[in-house]
Amino acid sequence: MDRRTHLRWLARLLAAAALPSTGRAEGGQPVLVRLNIPGPRSLPFLPIELITPLGIDRDLGATLKLRYFTSGVLAFEDMVAGNAHFAGHGFAILPGMRKKGKSAVAIASIAGGAAALALLVRADLAGKIKRVADLKSRSIGASSGSVNSKTYLQMVGEQVLADHGVAASDVRWVQTAQNWESVRSALSSKSVDAVLCEEPFATRAVTAGLARFLYNANDMAQSKSLIGGAHLRAVISTPTETPGPDEQARLLVQMVQRSLQWMASTKPQDIVSKLPLDDATERKELLTILLRYPAIFSRDGRFPAATIAATTSLLQALGNIEGGGEVERLIDPRWVGPAT
């Protein structure tokens, strides 16, 4: 980090230090915090979905209002259109959005450890498509954004394909949503040959007999050659041109940090019990996934230097940024505090 960037971060942190720890709107009413995220039930955003069941927003004098979108790009674009204070999405979309004049900064990290995404092949094609390289001329379902904006999943998916000698133009991309119904429909209708998706949808599709794992980003043997493996994944952002009020930002980051800290000290069985899930099979699958991905979530919402370096490497490989320091300019760390 250069000296100018360091001083800017320090100034932001000092400005936040004097702020109170809880907030109420005038008249003692809870402060409304509006947040867009992909989903529902997309694993990287699980800490967000736990905030209200745990009563964290209520305890802080706030009301968290969630809206679900089929991708992080659409959640982001709805936010910058003024319909929400914040959005959850993959960090990798921020540089491209900034180039399009849709500027925002990340204020908290949610998922930044293990990558909970996989490339699945349709079960009836598993005998023909045995390697990622076999996907040439095939169709892949992936959540997509707007016409000119790639989602985080599509960006990483293109890196996975390239790592196995397949260009993005060698396959046909089919739009799917970042939720279970879309993944299930794409596979069962045979409208795609493969699907790129995050957990728990990948494991659920395999358990249901709809697909087989072709590539698992959490498998070190498969993913060790990918550039920027420890990059920032799911983050919360807010617009820079018309930023959300400081009160909402402070409260939301506190909610996120409390949820992350609770998850870090809680058994997976107890985490699952807090979610409003009526389906016993879904509960069992989520428990299996949480046991499989113990390191997927941040513990404090902060932005470690090593993670920023990995993110820089990934974004440079994608051609989204040119030099060092650009990732730091896409982060406002004053709410989460300095990384330890």
For the stretch 82-100, pLDDT in tens is: 999 999 999 999 999 998 9
pLDDT of 323? 76
**The domains spanning 3-112+230-330 and 117-223 adopt the same CATH topology:** yes
Cα distances from 190 to residues 123, 147, 187, 286, in angstroms, run: 10, 24, 5, 25
Alpha-carbon distance 206 to 12, whole Å? Answer: 46
Residues recorded for the chain:
340
67 contacts: CB under 8 Å, gap ≥ 6: 34, 35, 36, 37, 75, 78, 83, 84
Tell me, rounded to whole angstroms, the distance of Cα 103 from its chain centroid.
18
User: What rounded mean pLDDT belongs to the chain?
Assistant: 88
pLDDT of 122? 98
Looking at residues 159-182, what average pLDDT do you find?
A: 93
Name the pLDDT band for 145 (thresholds 50, 70, 90): low
pLDDT of 340? 66
For the stretch 184-226, pLDDT in tens is: 999 999 999 999 999 999 999 999 999 999 999 877 667 667 7
Topology of domain 3-112+230-330 in CATH is: D-Maltodextrin-Binding Protein; domain 2 (3.40.190)
For the stretch 219-245, pLDDT in tens is: 766 766 777 778 999 999 999 876 667
Between 18-32, 160-174, 176-190, the lowest mean confidence (pLDDT) is in 18-32
Q: What percent of the chain has pLDDT over 70?
A: 88
pLDDT at residue 18 above 50?
Answer: no
Name the pLDDT band for 282 (thresholds 50, 70, 90): confident
pLDDT at residue 12 above 50?
Answer: no
Cα distances from 84 to residues 81, 144, 145, 248, 264, in angstroms, run: 8, 20, 17, 11, 28
**Residue that the structure tokens 């590539």 belong to:** 215
pLDDT of 294? 83
Instruction: Give the max Cα distance, the chain.
Output: 65
pLDDT of 16? 41
pLDDT of 20? 42
pLDDT at residue 10 above 60?
Answer: no
User: Which residue did the predictor score with more confidence, 121 or 29?
Assistant: 121
Residue 209 gets the label, from left (phi > 0), alpha (psi -120 to 50) or beta, of left
Q: Are strands 62-69 and 104-109 parallel, antiparallel or unpaired?
A: unpaired
pLDDT of 148? 61
> Any idea where the domains of the chain sit in the sequence?
3-112+230-330, 117-223
pLDDT of 243? 64
For the stretch 42-98, pLDDT in tens is: 999 999 999 999 999 999 999 999 999 999 999 999 999 999 999 999 999 999 999
Looking at residues 8-29, what average pLDDT do you find?
A: 50
- Helix then strand count (H, E) for the chain reads 13, 10
Q: What is the CATH number of domain 117-223?
A: 3.40.190.10
pLDDT of 244? 64
Name the pLDDT band for 14 (thresholds 50, 70, 90): very low
User: Which residue did the predictor score with more confidence, 258 or 28?
Assistant: 258
What number of CA atoms fall less than 13 Å from residue 267's CA on the CB side? 3
